[in-house]
A and B are shown apart, each in its own frame.
Chain A
Amino acid sequence: MNSSFLHFSSITKKVWMALLGLFLMVFLVVHLGINLCLLRDDGGRWFRDAAHFMGTNYIIKVFEVILFGGFILHVLIGIILQIKNWFSRPVRYKISNKTTTPFLSKYMIYTGAIVLTFLIIHLFNFYFIKYGWVTSPVSPLEGGEPDFAAVARSLFGQPVYSAIYIVLIICLGFHLYHAFQSGFQTLGLDHKTYTPYITGFGIFYSIVIPLGFIIIPIYFLI
Chain B
Amino acid sequence: MKLTLKIWKQQDAHSKGKFVTYSLDSISPNCSFLEMLDILNEQLIRKNEEPVAFDHDCREGICGTCSLYINGRPHGPDDAITTCQLHMRKFKDGDTIIIEPWRAKPFPVVKDLIVDRAAFDKIIQEGGYISVNTGGAAEANQILVSKVNAELSMDAAACIGCGACVAACKNASAMLFVSAKVSHFALLPQGKIEAKDRVKKMVAMMDQLGFGNCTNTYACEAECPKLISRSNIARMNREFICAKVS
Contact B237 A11 (CB under 8 A): yes
Interface segment, one of B38-46, B139-147, B190-198, B209-217: B209-217
Q: Which residues of A contact B223 (CB under 8 A)?
A: 99
CB contacts (< 8 Å) of B104 on chain A: these are: 88-89
What sequence of 0s and 1s flags, for each residue 149-162 of chain A, a beta carbon within 8 Å of any chain B beta carbon? 00000000000000
B211 (CB) vs chain A CBs: closest residue: A88
Q: Which of A131-183 contact B (CB under 8 A)?
A: 178, 181-182
- With both chains docked as a complex, state the minimum distance between the C-beta of B224 and any C-beta of chain A, in angstroms: 11
Whether the Cβ atoms of A186 and B98 lie closer than 8 Å is: no
- CB-nearest residue of chain A relative to B199? A11
Q: Which of B50-58, B124-132, B165-173 contacts A (4 or more CB under 8 A)?
A: B165-173
Size class of the contact patch on chain B: 35 or more
Asked if B69 CB lies within 8 Å of chain A CBs, one says yes
B210 lies within 8 A of A88 (CB): yes
Interface residue B21 (Cβ < 8 Å from any Cβ of A): no
Question: Which residues of A in the span 66-84 have a Cβ within 8 Å of any Cβ on B?
Answer: 81, 84
Q: Among A90, A94, A187, A189, which residue has its beta carbon within 8 angstroms of that of B100? A: A94
The closest CB in chain A to the CB of B106 belongs to A88
CB nearest to B223 among chain A residues: A99
Task: Judge whether A15 is part of the interface by a CB distance below 8 angstroms.
Answer: yes
B244 touches A91 (CB 8 A): no
> Smallest CB–CB gap between A187 and chain B, Å?
7
A101 and B169 CA atoms in complex are apart in Å by 10
Chain A CB within 8 A of B207 CB? yes
B19: contacting residue among A13, A14, A15, A94, CB under 8 A: A94
What chain B residues lie within 8 Å of A93 (beta carbons)? 69, 72, 100, 103
Of A46-54, A56-64, A102-110, the stretch lying at the interface with chain B is: A102-110
* Chain B residues packing against A (C-beta within 8 Å): 8, 19, 69, 71-74, 98, 100, 103-106, 168, 170-173, 203-204, 206-207, 210-219, 222-223, 230-231, 233-241, 244
Q: List 9 A-B contacts (CB under 8 A).
A: A10-B203, A10-B206, A13-B213, A84-B213, A89-B103, A89-B172, A97-B168, A99-B74, A188-B237
If A97-B73, A182-B215 are given as contacts, then 5 extra A-B residue pairs at C-beta distance below 8 Å, sorted by A number, are A9-B207, A89-B212, A99-B72, A182-B216, A186-B237
